[in-house]
Amino acid sequence: MLPLGHLAFAYLWYAVYAAVGTHRLPARLTLVPLAFGSQFPDLVDKPLAYVEILTYGRSLAHSLFTFVLCSVAVWWLTMRLRGRWRAETIAERLRIVTPAAFTIGYASHLLGDTYRFLLAGDLWAARFLVYPLFPLPESPGDDIAPWIRLFRIYQEMGSHPQVYLIILATVVFGGLRIHQYWKQTRTPSA
């Protein structure tokens, strides 16, 4: 998946999470942890593979071990910071949504990179999820700078492989915002 596809996929998963529970949808600055989590594995692995620290662009941060470690660290940090700010501050609002949003964003990234392999029953192709337990191939695409590759891909947005997913996430986002606005304007103020 490409970055915008990962972002759209993460938002849709978070919308399901919010709908199933009594959780609020991320809005404005609270979208940051979700967006960051959805891009985190590629932000770590792709540049490290390009500079040849890693041999494969899906390894260290794409591992379930790193996912658990980072998610626990974010949860622990936000719990340690609990009560340090007034409830109405931006920092406190971010603290409330950050652990779940980051974790869902990160998990959706891993699922987005592996769902085709898992549906096909090709567990070997998804072995990067248990890095470093199994050897990983060298990726020939890692010889191209990740930012150059993305620039080339996004020049032709109509050919984006996840364009329908991006449109769906945009429609869901807009629909939920319109619904929230409609609900607020229909509620009589006391």
- Over residues 85-111, the pLDDT tens digits come to 555 655 555 555 678 889 999 999 999
Helix boundaries (H) for 21-144: 31-50, 64-80, 90-120
Q: Dump pLDDT digits (tens) for 59-91.
A: 999 999 999 999 999 999 888 777 665 556 555
Does residue 143 have a pLDDT over 70?
Answer: no
Q: How far is 47 from 52, CA to CA, in rounded Å?
A: 8
Q: Cα 108 vs. chain centroid, distance in angstroms?
A: 6
Classified as helix, coil or strand, 95 is: helix
User: Could you tell me the pLDDT band of residue 173, with boundaries at 50, 70 and 90?
Assistant: confident
Helix (H) or strand (E) holding 177: helix 163-186
pLDDT of residue 62: 95
- What's the first-to-final CA gap in the chain, in angstroms? 48
What mean pLDDT do residues 47-51 have? 86
pLDDT of residue 80: 79
